[in-house]
Amino acid sequence: MDFYDQLLAQTESERNDLLSIPFIQMGAAGKLSLKSYIAFLTQAYHHVKHTTPLLMATGGRLPGSLEWLREAVGEYIEEEMGHQEWILNDIQACGGDKEAVRHGVPHPSTELMVAYAYDTVYRNNPVGFFGMVLVLEGTSVSLATHAAGNIEKSLGLPKQAFSYLNSHGSLDVSHVDFYEKLMNRLDSEQDRAAVIHAARMFYKLYGDIFRALPMITLEES
C-alpha cells in the first residue's frame, strides 16, 4: 500500500469525527445564518494568514535529503500567497468589517491550532506540517464548493462573498493529486509517522475551531 493510502486509512476515524461536527454539517447544507458564516470566515482568516509563513519555515528546516520536497513547498507558497486577503474581501462582501477582523484576535481554538503548527515545524519534525495540509486541503475538497453553493442560495449573498470557499474547492482538487505524489515519495518511517501523528492532531484542533463557532441557524437569525 502506498503511504498516501496508509495515511488516509490511519486517520479515517479522526477525519470522520471532523466531518460529523454539527456546524460543518449545517453549513454544508446551507442552514446557517450570515453571522455564523462571517464567524467561520473570521477564524479562517486568522489561520490562513499563517499558511505562507509556515510553508516558508517548513522549507527552511527541511534537510538536504528532502530537497525535492523543499521545491514542492516553493510551489505551495506561490499558490497560497495572499489567500487571507480573499477571505477579508469575502467578509466585506457579506457586510462585515474586514479591517476589524484584520486587526482582531483569533479565537483560542484557532490560536492553539496555529501554535501547534509552528511547534511541529520548529520543535518536532517539519515534515509533520504536511499533516496539516492533508486536513485543511482534504476538507476543502469534500465540502467547500458544495457548501458555498448552498450558503449562497440560502443567504442570497453575491458570488463575491465566496471567493475563498469556491477557490479552495476547485483549486485543492489538483493540490490533493500533487500532495498524494509527494507523500508517496516519503521513504523515511520517521517522516511518515510525523505526518500521521500531525494529521490526527490537526483533525482534532481544526475540529475544535468549528466546535467553538456560533451555530445560529436561519430560523434563529
Task: Among 120-129, 181-190, 192-201, 211-220, name the one with the lowest average pLDDT.
Answer: 211-220
Rounded to whole angstroms, how far apart are CA atoms 44 and 26?
17
pLDDT exceeds cutoff 60 at 170:
no
Domain boundaries, the chain: 3-212
Average pLDDT over residues 152-169: 87
pLDDT in tens, 206-215: 999 999 999 9
Rounded to whole angstroms, how far apart are CA atoms 74 and 89?
25
Rounded to whole angstroms, how far apart are CA atoms 139 and 210?
12
Average pLDDT over residues 125-153: 86
pLDDT in tens, 12-44: 999 999 999 999 999 989 999 999 999 999 999
Cell numbers 504536511 label which residue? 130
Average pLDDT over residues 121-141: 91
pLDDT in tens, 58-113: 999 999 999 999 999 999 999 889 999 999 999 999 999 999 999 999 999 999 99
Instruction: Indicate the class that CATH gives domain 3-212.
Output: mainly alpha
pLDDT exceeds cutoff 80 at 142:
no
74 and 59 in contact (C-beta within 8 Å)? yes
Confidence of residue 169 (pLDDT cuts 50, 70, 90): low
pLDDT in tens, 172-183: 556 788 899 999
Rounded to whole angstroms, how far apart are CA atoms 17 and 11?
10
pTM for the structure as a whole: 0.94
